[in-house]
Amino acid sequence: MQSAVVALGNFDGVHLGHQVVLQKAREQARKHNKPFGVVTFEPHPRSIFAPADAPFRITPAHTKRRILADLGVDACFEIPFTYEFSKLTAEKFVEDLLIGQLHVSHAVAGHDFVFGHKRGGDMRLLKQLMKKHQLHVDEVSPVYDATHVLWSSTRIREYLQKGDLKNAAAALGRNWEMEGIVQRGAQRGRTIGFPTANLSLDDYQRPRFGVYAVTVNHAGKQYKAVANIGTRPTVDGERESLEVHIFDFVGDLYEQSVRVGFVDFIRPEQRFEGLEALKDQIKQDCLVAKRMLA
């Protein structure tokens, strides 16, 4: 895509701070009648340099692509991030990649954007290198919420770890979602009258383990539901998973894609003495979830 105006960054979460950067790039693209693109990196560099870290993604690649498309991005340039790529100097990142390969005409990034080997490039250097080719750079200042807290992916991860869905949604500009393919489980939920759609947690940031009021989007429709995320201590207490009981749904979701939107936290995960006690608690959880989602 020749002469695109691009937003630069990892954009994990595509939160409201990121959206200011994206909006600035989109405005410049429309103003100059050029394509609007995003240059991002997959996998996230943290996955390469700290592979032993706990899962941390707010929006894995497939989710990020969908959100960016919804925001009007014409093209998403996903740069494969490898250890070898990380050795590319800041100068070569701009000269060879942005200008030589992608033919970027105008770049937009946040004030803290860094690039190149050992994060050797910053916004000052980006402006210098682009200016040599008569190309433009816009730097976006930090973006804060109404309480003067900086919108950041790190802050959102902290909210999710606390089960603070309201503040996470406020920073994201939407409810946080997990999406994936419904897997076949042991079907224990059916035996107690609460069938569930089970999803793998993959490399998503783990929110606080417990029970949530959620929505489920599937095939263009949205349903209300209750979900448990954790290790199922009453049943086996081992494998981490997301189990969703959808209200008023009839059908088979196995091997189909769904999006689970987290609306509110109900209670922490806990172990019950048996399936009957668990069943009674799920009934109460369903009532609470329906009130929260009303």
| Same structural domain, 118 and 195 | no
| Same structural domain, 44 and 131 | yes
| Same structural domain, 136 and 191 | no
94 domain residue, yes or no: yes
Domain boundary among 84, 118, 140: 140
75 domain residue, yes or no: yes
Q: Which of 139, 177, 179, 243 is catalytic?
A: 243
Residue 77 belongs to domain with CATH number: 3.40.50.620
Per-residue pLDDT of the chain (294 residues; tens, 9 = 90+): 679 999 999 999 999 999 999 999 999 999 999 999 999 999 999 999 998 899 999 999 999 999 999 999 999 999 999 999 999 999 999 999 999 999 999 999 999 999 999 999 999 999 999 999 999 999 999 988 888 889 999 999 999 999 999 999 999 999 999 999 999 866 565 556 789 999 999 999 999 999 999 999 999 999 999 999 998 765 665 679 999 999 989 888 999 999 999 999 999 998 887 778 888 999 999 999 999 999
Q: Supply the pTM of this predicted model.
A: 0.92
Which residue, chain included where needed, has tokens 């394509």?
35
Q: Whole domain around residue 63: which residue ranges?
A: 5-140
| Same structural domain, 118 and 184 | no
| Same structural domain, 85 and 129 | yes
243 is catalytic: yes
Total count of domains within the chain: 2
